[in-house]
Amino acid sequence: MATSTTIWEKLGFRKASGVTEAGWGQTLLAGLVSLIYFLPVLLIIITSFKVQNEAMSVPPKFFPTSFFGLIPDVYVFSPTLENFTSVFSRAFVTGGAVESTGFDRFFFNSMFIAGSSVLLALVIGTLAAYGFSRYPLKGNDTYLFIILTTRMLPAIVVIIPIILMFRIAGLSGSYPGIILLYTAFNLPFTIWMMKSFFDELSLDVEDAARIDGSSELRVFFKICLPQVVAGLAATFVFGLILTWNEFLFALLLTGIDTRTVPVAMNQAVAGGGIGVLWGLLAAIETLFLIPVFLVTFFLQNHLLRGVTFGTVKR
């Protein structure tokens, strides 16, 4: 085993000869399928570089350059970064002055709200999952099922009580309110996922530690938690993805200052006295994709490392 890894090996080629575990056939197939699967997203990204007048062209313009005349002009658009600047500031009225759209704020809000609520849910949920797994209560499964039930109703049904509650508590339009709500929104999945992880751990090590006189806290932090890092990563990513794009609660419970991107995104769907501003919508979505894309990419190894589950119990 070479101690220094080449870039070639980093990309997944085991040896310089390119022998892989899966074989070339499957590698090619995977490449092809992934690209096809990614195509609709790619088209959104391409659209983010088009001006409004080129976005809907017939035939569609796929290429930013003609590759030295290789591709007929009808398929070539002239790429622009205008959409990306328009996300943050543009003229709302034809010929009017350029104004800030507030999107810098909305991006911050999305990151802050989603990030903190998912982390909070992870902390609270992991504790609860550990409790459910190690110290089963009377009717443990019933509690777990009730927790799951809270995810089953359409959100619109609970929204009226929540709005009223928020108003009375002075929480509407504030960060703590929406963060707490999203925490609750994430808890069922977090608890179910993390419980599955804890159930899989071998009890022998823990018992041995207890016999050695370790406190319960020590057992949890030093023995159990390090074994479920993969689970924490997976739960974090799933929670983040779901919270990141949540729409209805954000629409109804955030104020002007705490609005998140999914709500503001509709500016580009029917704003400005025009239907869809294609380039702008694509640019918002592309920018909005980047943070969660990067988080997933960097946690990817954790997601796949030695995750094992038991069965889902009722």
Interaction with other proteins in 190-209: which residues (CB under 8 A)?
191-193, 196
Tokens 């089953």 belong to residue? 152
Question: At which residue do the structure tokens 């000869």 appear?
Answer: 17
Q: C-beta of 233: minimal distance to other proteins in Å?
A: 10
- Amino acid identity of residue 85, one-letter, is T
> Tokens at residue 236, please?
């974090």
Show contacts with other proteins in window 65-84 (CB under 8 A): none
Q: State how far the alpha carbon of 197 is from the alpha carbons of 131, 150, 230, 251, in Å.
A: 13, 22, 9, 34
Is the CB of 112 or the CB of 184 nearer to other proteins?
184
Q: How far is CA 190 from CA 209, 226, 231, in A?
A: 27, 17, 10
Which of 148, 201, 209, 223 lies at the binding interface for other proteins (CB under 8 A)?
A: 148
- 68 vs 249 by CB, closer to other proteins: 249
Identify the H or E element spanning 100.
strand 98-100
Q: Could you say whether residue 281 binds other proteins (CB under 8 A)?
A: yes
Under 8 Å between Cβ of 132 and 199? no
Question: Are 172 and 104 contacting, i.e. CB atoms less than 8 angstroms apart?
Answer: no
Q: How far is the CB of 108 from other proteins (least distance, A)?
A: 17
Residues 287-306 that bind other proteins (CB under 8 A): 288-289, 292-293, 296-297, 300-301, 303-306
| Positions in 229-268 near other proteins (CB under 8 A) | 230, 234, 238, 241, 244-245, 247, 251-252, 255-256, 261-267
Ramachandran quadrant class, 311 (left: phi over 0; alpha: psi -120 to 50; beta: rest): beta
Is residue 222 part of the contact set for other proteins (CB under 8 A)? no
Among 20, 66, 78, 100, binds other proteins (CB under 8 A): 20
146 near other proteins, rule: CB under 8 A: yes
Residue 56 is a binding residue for other proteins (CB under 8 A): yes
Contact 184, 253 (CB under 8 A): no
Options 71, 131, 214, 225; binder of other proteins; rule CB under 8 A: 131
- Our CB check for other proteins shows the closer of 68 and 272 to be 272
Total residues in contact with other proteins, by rule CB under 8 A: 139
272 Cβ contact list (under 8 Å, min separation 6): 92
Stretch that binds other proteins, among 63-71, 205-213, 221-229, 276-284 (CB under 8 A): 276-284
Q: Which residue in the set 5, 31, 78, 222 belongs to the binding site for other proteins (CB under 8 A)?
A: 31
Of 118, 128, 224, 228, which one interacts with other proteins (CB under 8 A)? 128
Residue 278 is a binding residue for other proteins (CB under 8 A):
yes
Q: Shortest approach of other proteins to residue 57 CB, angstroms?
A: 8
**Using the rule CB under 8 A, which residue among 5, 15, 38, 229 binds other proteins?**
38
Cβ contacts of 139 within 8 Å, gap of 6 or more: none
90 strand-pairing partners: 99
Q: How far apart are CA 252 and CA 181, in angstroms?
A: 12
Burial of 110 (0-12, 13-18, 19+ CB in 10 A): buried
CB of 309 to other proteins, least distance (A): 4
